[in-house]
C-alpha cells in the first residue's frame, strides 16, 4: 500500500513544483507585458494564453500530443537533435501541467499589476530608475498578493491535473502515474481503499496550500 501511495505522491509533487516554478517566471513576464504594454494583436495574445483554461483537458492534451510527438512540430526537432521523444515521460506531464496552469497565473497576476498605481512608477522613472528596476522594486512587490495567489492556484491546478497528463504521459505504473491518474486507476480496478487514501491526501494537500497562502497574504501589507 505504501508503495502505491508514495510514488504517485512524490511524482505529483515533483511535477507540480517544477511546472509552478516555470509558470511563476513565465506568467509574471507575460502578465507584465499584457498589463503595461499596448501592441497590435494584444487581444489575440490574451485569448491564446487563456485558451487552455476553457478547452477540455483532453483537447489540450491532444494538441500537445500532435505538437510533441515524434512527427510533431517540436517533437520532430527534439527527436532529430537527441533521438529522444518526450511523450509518455514525466517531463511531458510537467509540460501539460504548465500549459493548463499558466492561464490562472496570468489572469490573476495581470489584474494585480493593473491595480498598481502608475503614478508610483512614473515617480520612479523621474528619479532615474529604469523600467526593469521599477518593475522589480515597485510594481511586482505591490502586486505580490495577486502574484502569490496566481502561484498557489497554478500549483493546485497542477496537482489535480488529469486529462492532459493522461494524454501526453499516459498511465505507466512507476513512471507516470500521478495522484489523479492513480485515483482513476484504483477506482477502475475496484480498489476503493487505495482510491480513498489518495483522495484524502490530495484534498489535504490542496487545503493546506490554500490555508498557508491565505495566512501569508493576510500577513502582508501593501
Per CATH, domain 2-40+54-217 is 1.10.3720.10: yes
Q: What's the pLDDT at 1? A: 62
Predicted local distance difference test score (pLDDT) of residue 220: 56
Which pLDDT value is given to residue 87?
A: 92
CA-CA-CA-CA torsion for 120, 124, 125, 127, nearest 10 degrees? 140
> Which residues of the chain are under the pLDDT cut of 70?
1, 216-217, 219-222
pLDDT digits (tens, 9 = 90+) for 112-134: 999 999 999 999 988 888 999 99
Radius of gyration of the chain (CA): 20
Q: Measuring CA to CA, which residue among 205, 209, 191 is closest to residue 4? A: 191
pLDDT number for residue 221: 52
Angle between helix 144-159 and helix 192-219 axes, rounded to 10 deg: 180
- pLDDT of the residue at 61: 94
What is d(CA 130, CA 135) in angstroms, rounded to the nearest whole number?
Answer: 9
Positive/negative CA dihedral, 142, 145, 146, 150: positive
Amino acid at each position: 500500500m505504501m508503495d502505491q501511495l508514495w510514488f504517485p505522491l512524490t511524482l505529483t509533487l515533483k511535477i507540480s513544483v517544477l511546472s509552478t516554478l516555470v509558470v511563476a517566471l513565465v506568467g509574471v513576464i507575460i502578465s507584465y507585458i499584457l498589463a503595461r504594454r499596448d501592441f497590435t494583436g494584444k487581444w489575440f495574445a490574451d485569448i491564446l494564453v487563456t485558451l487552455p483554461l476553457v478547452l477540455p483537458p483532453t483537447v489540450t492534451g491532444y494538441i500537445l500530443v500532435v505538437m510533441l510527438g515524434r512527427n510533431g512540430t517540436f517533437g520532430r526537432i527534439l527527436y532529430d537533435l537527441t533521438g529522444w521523444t518526450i511523450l509518455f515521460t514525466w517531463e511531458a506531464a510537467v509540460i501539460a501541467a504548465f500549459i493548463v496552469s499558466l492561464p490562472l497565473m496570468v489572469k490573476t497576476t495581470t489584474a494585480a499589476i493593473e491595480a498598481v498605481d502608475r503614478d508610483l512608477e512614473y515617480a520612479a522613472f523621474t528619479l532615474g530608475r529604469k523600467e526593469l528596476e521599477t518593475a522589480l522594486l515597485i510594481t511586482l512587490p505591490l502586486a505580490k498578493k495577486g502574484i502569490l495567489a496566481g502561484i498557489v492556484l497554478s500549483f493546485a491546478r497542477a496537482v489535480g491535473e488529469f486529462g492532459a497528463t493522461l494524454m501526453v504521459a499516459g498511465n505507466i505504473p512507476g513512471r507516470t502515474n500521478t495522484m489523479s491518474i492513480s485515483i482513476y486507476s484504483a477506482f477502475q480496478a475496484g480498489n476503493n481503499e487505495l482510491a480513498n487514501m489518495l483522495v484524502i491526501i490530495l484534498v489535504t494537500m490542496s487545503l493546506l496550500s490554500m490555508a498557508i497562502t491565505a495566512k501569508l497574504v493576510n500577513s502582508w501589507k501593501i
